[in-house]
A and B are shown apart, each in its own frame.
Chain A
Amino acid sequence: MNKPAVFLSALAGAVVVLMTSCGKDTKDPGLEFMPDMYRSPSYEVYSSNPNFPDSLTMQAPVKGTIPRNYTYFNYPSTIEGYEAASRDVKNPLPLTEANVAEGQRLYGIYCVHCHGDNGQGDGNLVAIGKFPPPPSYSAGNSSRGGAMKDLSDGKIYHTIVYGINLMGPHATLINPEERWKIVMYVHQLQGNAATPAAGDSAVAAKDSSTTTAMAK
């Protein structure tokens, strides 16, 4: 074998190694073909915006305005507001199997990791020791007095909206209709709730749409 052959094969070997060893750079989005429609000239929901002092495109609604069909929960985040809500507020949704099932599904998204499948305060975060346990719905005591199993509609709703102790406010995550369905399901977990009606009301039929599809 003579010199050029050695160099050529060495070069080929080096090129192959270089090409195969690096792979695709995952930090780089790659080439774009006509990027105009990907990089929108209009401001998008999460893009920064030079027109506002806080640089956000997504601005909070003007203070004092509410969306259409929005039920305003006019009770402050105080113990007085909590008691007043307990007195005045009742669940506006009919107690049906469909609503309870939807409540259970939503509970599985928003509550279960702390409160646990059966509301015993033994969710996964508690079980793996990352978060302290909340009191059991059926056996625990409320830090604001009374047994957890006696919590009323208004008290549970107030807690979802504002949170209490280590539980943060969930008003931005769960909309009012969803909150009421969760309240309905929490009553079932308290162990002293009425049996829901089996018949499908108009509301129930609409809400059941994805219950079976989404249930895992």
Chain B
Amino acid sequence: MTATTPTTPKAPAPRGTSADAGGRERVSAFWSLSRAMLLGMKRDRTATFFILLFPLVFLVFFGGVSKGDHSPHAKVAQVGAVKLFDSIQGPDRAGLDKVLTITHTDDEAATLEKVRKGDFDALIKQGADGKVELRFTAADQVRAGALQGILNSVVQEANQAATGQKPAYVLDSQQVEDKSLKPIQFLTPGLLGWAVATGAVFGAALTLVNWRKSKVLRRLRLAPISAGTVVSSRILVSLVTALLQTTVFVVVATSFFGLKLTGNWWLIIPLVACATLAFMSIGLLAGSVAKTEEAASGISQVIVLPMSFLSGSFFPMDGAPGWLKTVSEFMPLHYLVSSAQSVLTRGGGVMDALPTMGGLLLFAAVLTGISWKLFKWEDA
């Protein structure tokens, strides 16, 4: 076979302005890129499951397990010595411990503040004159009443004992289950935070690595669109995902698990939005460093899972050692979870959410700056 093609270069044929034929249609690279990503995600059933349903499975699971745990304890902070309590020993003491968890503190003002915030149910102290003072939060009438009843009986018993007489009447105090202690109030903000963190970190990291590997990133680079368009449409997609997760979570928790929302619950929306940016920046960093999807997924998991445990997503950090609490203060999720708890279930206001939002945005800015330095268009 010999070559049959002409050996001289062809003269360029006159080229019609075919791009303009039929009139210019208006298109937006931003919307069409966002749409492409959302469609891709919607059709990826595994991704949808892990982003939307998997966290709900956790909610159902934890919610169900915790329901069986009839924790009767009221948390009382004891300031200084309270002879009334300290003198109770032996089997009577065990009985008291059944209904009350007594924490010893010295700082009355700070403890009173904690009572206000709901960290303690009541504060108790005893003056030199033997007067026992109880300061309790009125947030929950039932609990306050129960607590008063218990203490009253303790005082009466003590008084009675002081007279040396055999009691004519005996009051048998029983634990009172407090409805507001429902774990859902605690679980919803925590698991929501975990779900949002997972979605945003994995989403950003895997998208970046997948685009780099499949050369979509190169295609974007060779197209006349700005980096801003690409980044902002990816942010839009992550925000849509996170707000969808929030909606599903709050709706399911209120409708099926009896979550009671407090006044400023809508603040969860800007909070989640800011947190999404912070988590995306973590994902961006992971995706900039990782070469394969497996690596990106591994790095993301190594960050998200410990962060979730340390941030109190699954269980409270109250009992954790101090150094672990310090570590958790470096985690953006810690702030999202505590602010989300505050606005969703503890009646927190704008001032509870604003500092967190500012901090999350700052975190996002710093990490994005670092990723910018480490970012690679190509594998090699």
Mutual binders A and B = no
Q: Which residues of A contact B (CB under 8 A)?
A: none
- B contact residues vs A (CB 8 Å cutoff): none
